[in-house]
């Protein structure tokens, strides 16, 4: 499965704090740069914010897929966040977001970027999976749920 190739249990936050969309993107950028030192956190944050200005990555049903391409990124990298409290994210359904899967890919990696986003969007259409993700008690359990065969 594609998702397990870009995500590790160490790149998952359970019940994270985020007062706003920007703050959540900042938390994501800081954490990805901690796990992938080649990626500068400030550059990543700016890229994620720039991408959001093109149109929201809030899919609806409390889900967002913030993503961008970065030159310093060597391989597709995912980061899953479940927020303690939902935040306003300008989602297409106007509902707040509590589950985010951030994706950072190499600058030239357009097709793989789209393939991974499609796989994620398909996974997040399952109301059963969403309920399980929202009630999971650990990053390891979130990892198992999001990477389980469909």
Structure tokens at 107: 């600058």
- The yes-or-no answer on residue 113 being catalytic is no
Of 20, 13, 32, 102, nearest in space to 72 by CA: 32
Please tell me the distance from the alpha carbon of residue 82 to that of residue 13, in angstroms, as a whole number: 6
Please tell me the distance from the alpha carbon of residue 18 to that of residue 98, in angstroms, as a whole number: 10
* Collapsed DSSP state (helix, strand, coil) of residue 124: coil
C-beta separation of 71 from 107 below 8 A: yes
Token pair 């899953």: residue:
80
Annotated active-site residue in 11, 67, 113, 123: 67
- Enumerate the active-site residues: 67
């Amino acid at each position: 499965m594609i998702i397990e190739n870009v995500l590790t249990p160490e790149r998952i936050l359970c019940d994270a704090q985020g007062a706003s969309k920007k703050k959540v993107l900042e938390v994501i950028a800081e954490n990805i740069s901690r796990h992938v030192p080649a990626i500068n956190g400030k550059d990543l944050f700016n890229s994620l914010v720039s991408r959001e200005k093109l149109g929201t990555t809030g899919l609806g049903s409390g889900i967002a897929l913030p993503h961008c391409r970065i030159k310093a990124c060597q391989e597709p990298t995912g980061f899953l966040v479940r927020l303690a409290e939902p935040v306003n994210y300008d989602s297409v359904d106007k509902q707040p977001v509590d589950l985010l899967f951030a994706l950072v890919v190499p600058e030239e990696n357009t097709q793989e970027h789209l393939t991974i986003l499609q796989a994620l969007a398909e996974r997040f259409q399952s109301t059963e999976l969403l309920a399980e993700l929202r009630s999971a008690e650990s990053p390891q359990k979130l990892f198992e749920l999001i990477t389980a065969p469909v």
